[in-house]
Structure 1
Amino acid sequence: MQKTLTEGSSDDNFSPVKAKGSPASIQKSANLTGSHRKVKDTTADLHNLCQKWLKFNSEGTDIINKIANVKLKAIFKEDSKRNKDEVLLTKTEIPEELEDYCKKVFGIIGNMRKLVDKMEVMLEVFNGVADLERHKAQCTSTECGPVLFQTWKVEGFEEATMGMLECYRKEVKLKELLSENVCHVKDRDTMMFYTAAWVHQPYIDSSCILLLESMLTETGHR
């Protein structure tokens, strides 16, 4: 996955630098209100959603592994000759426990979709705060908006959230595909591939993690 959000940008754009005399140093001990409070609270909420995602992914990993074990033991039987090291489907019926596991996977996917929907709402919050700050500054350019904490304008939180949201949108689509097919796999290699794909979450990469950590640092959560 690309680590940039827009053409010409880089991860360095999202690495906060603590500047002397910055708004963060002024407001560190003060009770935040208005846009500052909204941005900081929404950043914390976004972090909490990501933690819940990790929990669901871990639960899904356990179930996917159970599905793999059931299929390899109860449905698949290795060809005695192992000419091509293939595993052949020898039974057409699906064990009851396998059906239960598949239902649980679908439930976890549903919970993950809800988290992505909530991330969409958080992006809308940042969009609203950005519009408000531009209105207060009586400008339409992103260049004239105020720095709320250390070095970022609200648009920085918008871009970071959009980047994260794109990662999670792609990942939930991948997991939906896996959940629809994992119970119908007909060879060992594909089963192992599906299991690895679920565990490693290819779309939740280092750039996505960096964006969240940068937001947390910028708002003083780190």
Structure 2
Amino acid sequence: MSTPPKRATNVSKCYSPVILPQSPATVSSHKNLTGLPRVARDIVADLFNNIQRWNDNHIRGANLAKSIAQLKTNNINDYSNILENLTSDLYNVVQTLSGICEAFDFLSNQMKSLIKLHKKTTPLFISMQDEQLAEFIDAISTAYKGEFKVKKFVLENIAHARNKNEIMFYAICWAHQQNINLETNIKLEALLTETGHRKIV
């Protein structure tokens, strides 16, 4: 009968630890970070701040769309001053969202230009390739621009809905942002973590 092989008693001698380089975002504070990493970090911060602005206006628009839906549900032929004011307020929200989409485009182009300037073979930070930074920002920008088209569609149609089902459809279209999905949010979190805005716990 053969004897079982002996288990290794000192595994640590077999492997040497892997030491990863530190990201400039963790070595330096935001104040001291310089050069292209600082520019990239600022671009991601601006992206995040514009998404927060989008969220505020999305909620405001959802409340307005709900009010319009309630008004039209009570009287499908309602074209009162109240409806006009609500629609005007929703128009202003959509205009603000349009400006935010322009900011997303600008930030996406900024990151693409920054990547072209980075001539070193090492990445700007640590885990993501430079091209990934640009790809993620572009994907996020595309998602929000797709959602903007939905918001604009709702604005153009909700006050002229012909029945209750149509009204509810438009209100739901505004509320449920189908283009901004889990993948979009994961990409945002990855960018925030990579550039040092989110701490790894």
Classify the TM-score, shorter chain. 0.7 to 0.9
Distance 1:95 1:152, change over 3 A: same
Distance 1:26 1:205, change over 3 A: closer
- The correspondence for 1:122, drawn from 83, 104, 107, is 107
Please identify runs of 4+ aligned residues in structure 1 that moved more than 4 A: none
- Cα offset for 1:69? 1.1
Q: Which amino acid in 2 is paired with 1:163?
A: A
- The correspondence for 2:90, drawn from 81, 101, 105, is 105
Identity over aligned residues, as a percent?
Answer: 26
Q: Which residue of 2 aligns with 1:20?
A: 20
Q: Which residue of 2 aligns with 1:210?
A: 186
Q: Which amino acid in 1 is paired with 2:167?
A: M
Q: Which residue of 1 aligns with 2:81?
A: 96
Distance 1:29 1:50, change over 3 A: closer
List aligned pairs for 1:70-85, cutoff 5 A. Answer: 70-73=71-74, 75-76=75-76
Q: Which residue of 2 aligns with 1:175?
A: 151
Q: Which amino acid in 2 is paired with 1:189?
A: N
What is the TM-score of this pair, normalised by structure 1? 0.76
Contact 1:23-1:150 at 8 Å conserved across structures: yes
* Aligned mates of 1:115, 1:25 — CA distance in 2: 26
Q: Which amino acid in 2 is paired with 1:121?
A: F
Would you say 1:132 and 2:89 are equivalent positions? no
Q: Which amino acid in 2 is paired with 1:34?
A: G
Q: Which moved more, 1:181-190 or 1:23-32?
A: 23-32
Contact 2:108-2:134 at 8 Å conserved across structures: yes
* Aligned mates of 2:142, 2:113 — CA distance in 1: 19
Q: Which moved more, 1:113-122 or 1:21-30?
A: 21-30
- Cα offset for 1:25? 7.3
Q: Which amino acid in 2 is paired with 1:105?
A: L
Would you say 1:34 and 2:35 are equivalent positions? yes
Which 5+ residue runs of structure 2 have no aligned equivalent? Answer: 1-18
Which 5+ residue runs of structure 1 have no aligned equivalent? Answer: 1-18, 77-90, 138-144
The number of aligned residues is: 179
Deviations 1:27-51 (CA, angstroms, capped at 9, x unpaired): 2448111101000011011000000
**Superposition CA RMSD, Å:** 1.6
* Aligned mates of 2:52, 2:126 — CA distance in 1: 25
List aligned pairs for 1:23-62, cutoff 5 A. Answer: 23-24=23-24, 27-29=27-29, 31-62=32-63
Q: Which structure has more RCO (C-alpha within 8 Å, separation ≥ 6)?
A: 1
What is the TM-score of this pair, normalised by structure 2? 0.84
* Aligned mates of 1:72, 1:26 — CA distance in 2: 54
Contact 1:129-1:154 at 8 Å conserved across structures: no
Contact 1:22-1:151 at 8 Å conserved across structures: no
* Aligned mates of 2:144, 2:196 — CA distance in 1: 24
Q: Aligned with 1:151: secondary structure?
A: coil
Deviations 1:65-119 (CA, angstroms, capped at 9, x unpaired): 110111112x23xxxxxxxxxxxxxx4x611100111111111011001001001
Distance 1:44 1:213, change over 3 A: same
